[in-house]
Amino acid sequence: MSSEDLKVLAEEIVDFCNGLEALAVKLRVQIEKLFGEVKAKIPEETFTILKWQSEKGSRLGEYEVAYKNQNVLDNWQHAFNILKQANAVIGNPFHLAGYQFRYWIFEKYGDRIFRKKLGEAKG
């Protein structure tokens, strides 16, 4: 097996693991819908380890953005996959019990994760 074959195999294994992780998040969301909030199994550190930049908008006010190209790719992709599978958009942001922030993504900005402190207006 050549080094290129190994590289392709490794990438496929990572994609498979990302898919399993995404499915686990999706299942947890469905369980919460059926049985109520489940204790956080995804620590907020999954998101807080990202590098965040402060932004300000006319509708949202102050919020923060984690850009893909300014973060460790594996950490950023892991957080993004969780938000994507949870359908975390601005009107339905992702957060679990004990979180300090709510997190969401926009389809048109596939290279960014957004967050705003819980308790602050959604915009």
pTM of the predicted model as reported, rounded to 2 decimal places = 0.67
Tokens 């957060």 identify what position?
Answer: 95
Percent of the chain predicted with pLDDT > 90: 54
pLDDT band at 104 (very low <50, low <70, confident <90, very high): very high
Residues 116-120 have a mean pLDDT of: 87
**114, 65, 71: which is closest to 92 by C-alpha?**
114
On the CB side of 109, CA atoms within 13 Å amount to: 13
Percent of the chain predicted with pLDDT > 70: 93
**What residues are paired with 102 via a beta bridge?**
116
User: Can you tell me whether residue 105 is helix, strand or coil?
Assistant: strand
Residue 74 has a pLDDT of 95
Residue 123 has a pLDDT of 52
**Tens digits of per-residue pLDDT, 10-61?**
889 988 988 888 888 888 788 878 877 655 579 999 999 999 999 998 888 9
Residue 36 has a pLDDT of 74
Q: Exposed, middle or buried: residue 98 (CB in 10 Å: 0-12, 13-18, 19+)? A: exposed
